[in-house]
């Protein structure tokens, strides 16, 4: 099989395409011939040595794939060879063949392409966990989504619309028109505008009910201050610590130094909640999360949820794909196409 390896800490040039032996499905597992692998910001942080959950370098990362089942392990029911599936991968997704626990995989609805399916697991499960499972999002509530043009941002918008909530987002100005076409009620240019001030202005001083923030550092503090009573802040990343192609210890320390501590009395007196979400640390909880994914896939088949795929790069151009995502050029999901796969 072919795999994209991180060969050392540093820039995208450390990604190399290598050959390896095909894995075999064991008990309770599926082997998938991969069509597309999703790229997430955690992969970039792993490449730079900033993601502590990643395997030791050299390694193969990747949290999600779509493809076709070609081997079914013993004890597995509900899947057959030839099934089109989407699946989480506990790293190793940048491969043309993966073996996964069958509980991590779901059949792709007939109306959904494998390209779109690869954009579902991480982004939609993350947004769902924050907004639905933990956030108990209600009709009429207002949600602020940072990095609104990314994969999680678009997933969050679609979930907000399904729940009858109002979404406002932060993004660079060049993405605002398209975000509004998709359904964002209001957009904030994070490069030129103070989002906390804009939130207060938009909500008449009240604040918003839910905030999804992957930025880290002082952004968490300003987001917390932008919450209305009964508001919920969800922190799901530290993207602000990524500056340049290599680990920048000063940038990382600056982000950590400006990350706020939330005092219990502040939470109590302000009637606010603060949550952290890291899907990479929930693999042992998949039994509890499986119903969420079943509902996500159902809504995907109905068209209520519809991933936006921005760019697809072949495995051999994984470095260019990382450059593209790290430079925040994407609008929606960035994927890798497995060698030899034709859509």
Same domain, 233 and 181: yes
Same domain, 221 and 186: yes
Distance CA 78, CA 58 (A): 35
Same domain, 155 and 56: no
Distance CA 261, CA 251 (A): 19
> Does position 132 have pLDDT exceeding 90, yes or no?
yes
Same domain, 112 and 51: yes
Return the CATH number at 249. Answer: 3.40.50.720
Distance CA 157, CA 148 (A): 8
Same domain, 133 and 262: yes
DSSP annotation of 244: S
pLDDT digits (tens, 9 = 90+) for 38-63: 999 999 999 999 888 999 999 999 99
> Does position 343 have pLDDT exceeding 60, yes or no?
no
Q: Round the average pLDDT of the chain to a whole number and report it.
A: 94
Sort strands 333-337 and 309-314 into parallel, antiparallel or unpaired: parallel
Question: What pLDDT shows up at residue 248?
Answer: 65
In the chain, the largest separation of any two C-alpha atoms, in whole Å, equals 60
Return the CATH number at 321. Answer: 3.90.180.10
> Does position 340 have pLDDT exceeding 60, yes or no?
yes
**158-169 burial string, b = 16+ CB within 10 Å, else e?**
bbbbebebbbbb
pLDDT digits (tens, 9 = 90+) for 164-194: 999 999 999 999 999 999 999 999 999 999 9
Same domain, 174 and 257: yes
Mean pLDDT of 15-44: 97
Mean pLDDT of 143-162: 97
Q: pTM here?
A: 0.94
Confidence of residue 158 (pLDDT cuts 50, 70, 90): very high
pLDDT digits (tens, 9 = 90+) for 101-123: 999 999 999 999 999 999 999 99
> Does position 240 have pLDDT exceeding 90, yes or no?
no
Question: What total of structural domains would you count in the chain?
Answer: 2
Confidence of residue 255 (pLDDT cuts 50, 70, 90): confident
> Does position 335 have pLDDT exceeding 90, yes or no?
yes
CB 98 within 8 A of CB 32: yes
Residue 295: how many other CB atoms lie within 10 Å = 13
Sort strands 273-276 and 227-235 into parallel, antiparallel or unpaired: parallel
Same domain, 165 and 260: yes
Same domain, 220 and 172: yes
The domain of 260 spans: 123-279
Same domain, 312 and 235: no
Question: What pLDDT shows up at residue 256?
Answer: 78
Question: What pLDDT shows up at residue 286?
Answer: 84
Mean pLDDT of 313-334: 96
Same domain, 311 and 218: no
| Residue 285 belongs to a domain | no
Percent of the chain whose pLDDT exceeds 70: 96
Same domain, 127 and 206: yes
Confidence of residue 246 (pLDDT cuts 50, 70, 90): low
pLDDT digits (tens, 9 = 90+) for 282-303: 999 988 899 999 999 999 999 9
| Residue 298 belongs to a domain | no
């Amino acid at each position: 099989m072919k795999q994209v390896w991180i060969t050392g800490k540093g820039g995208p040039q450390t990604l190399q395409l290598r050959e390896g032996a095909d894995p075999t499905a064991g008990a309770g597992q599926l082997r998938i011939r991969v069509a597309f692998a999703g790229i997430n910001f955690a992969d970039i942080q792993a490449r730079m040595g900033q993601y502590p959950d990643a395997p030791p370098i050299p390694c193969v990362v990747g949290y999600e794939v779509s493809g076709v089942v070609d081997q079914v392990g013993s004890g597995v029911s509900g899947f057959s060879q030839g099934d089109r599936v989407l699946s989480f991968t506990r790293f190793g997704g940048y491969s043309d063949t993966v073996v996964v626990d069958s509980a991590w995989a779901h059949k792709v609805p007939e109306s959904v392409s494998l390209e779109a399916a690869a954009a579902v697991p991480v982004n939609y499960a993350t947004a769902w966990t924050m907004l639905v499972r933990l956030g108990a999002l209600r009709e009429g509530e207002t949600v602020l989504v940072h990095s609104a043009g990314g994969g999680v941002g678009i997933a969050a918008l679609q979930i907000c619309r399904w729940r009858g909530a109002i979404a406002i987002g932060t993004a660079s100005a060049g993405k605002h028109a398209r975000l509004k076409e998709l359904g964002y009620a209001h957009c904030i240019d994070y490069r030129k505008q103070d989002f906390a001030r804009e939130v207060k202005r938009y909500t008449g001083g009240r604040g918003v009910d839910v905030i999804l923030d992957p930025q880290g550092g002082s952004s968490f503090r300003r987001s917390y201050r932008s919450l209305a009573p009964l508001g919920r802040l969800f922190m799901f990343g530290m993207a602000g610590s990524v500056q340049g192609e290599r680990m920048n210890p000063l940038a990382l320390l600056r982000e950590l130094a400006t990350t706020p501590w939330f005092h219990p009395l502040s939470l109590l007196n302000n009637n606010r909640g603060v949550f952290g979400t890291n899907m990479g640390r929930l693999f042992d909880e998949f039994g509890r999360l499986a119903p969420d994914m079943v509902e996500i896939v159902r809504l995907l088949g109905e068209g209520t949820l519809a991933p936006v795929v921005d760019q697809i790069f072949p495995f051999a151009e994984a470095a260019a794909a990382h450059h593209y995502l790290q430079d925040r050029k994407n609008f929606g999901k960035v994927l890798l196409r497995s060698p030899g796969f034709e859509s």
